[in-house]
């Protein structure tokens, strides 16, 4: 599991430091992803180097390498050459 990064904004007022706000940033890997492909039955992608893609009419899926297009989009190809895309919802 990846660490969440917290950014704090503070302002010094005399000898006192006041916290103005706290922003917690969620890494893309912790985001919800949605994959699409022709004849897609099932998928699982959580932001890593591989996605599980199950196409019809096959009995099961496989784990396929993805290529990062941006922080919110990856693409890949299955064993039979079917292209798939996963994006952050």
Nearest Cα residue to 46 out of 59, 61, 35: 35
Strands (E), 14-79: 16-25, 33-37, 40-44, 50-55, 62-70, 73-77
What stretches in the chain show pLDDT beneath 50?
A: 1-12, 17, 19, 22-26
Per-residue model confidence (pLDDT) at position 23: 45
pLDDT at 30: 76
Q: Per-domain residue ranges for the chain?
A: 5-88
Place of tokens 């693409």: 75
Which pTM does this prediction carry? 0.69
Residue 14's pLDDT is 56
């Amino acid at each position: 599991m990846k660490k969440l990064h917290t950014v704090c904004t503070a302002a010094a007022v005399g000898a006192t430091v006041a916290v103005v706000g706290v922003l917690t940033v969620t890494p893309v890997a912790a985001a919800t992803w949605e994959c699409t492909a022709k004849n897609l039955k099932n998928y699982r992608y959580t932001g890593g180097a591989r996605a599980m893609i199950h196409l019809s009419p096959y009995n099961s899926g496989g784990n396929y390498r993805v290529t990062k297009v941006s922080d919110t989009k990856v693409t890949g190809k299955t064993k039979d050459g079917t292209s798939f895309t996963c994006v952050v919802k």
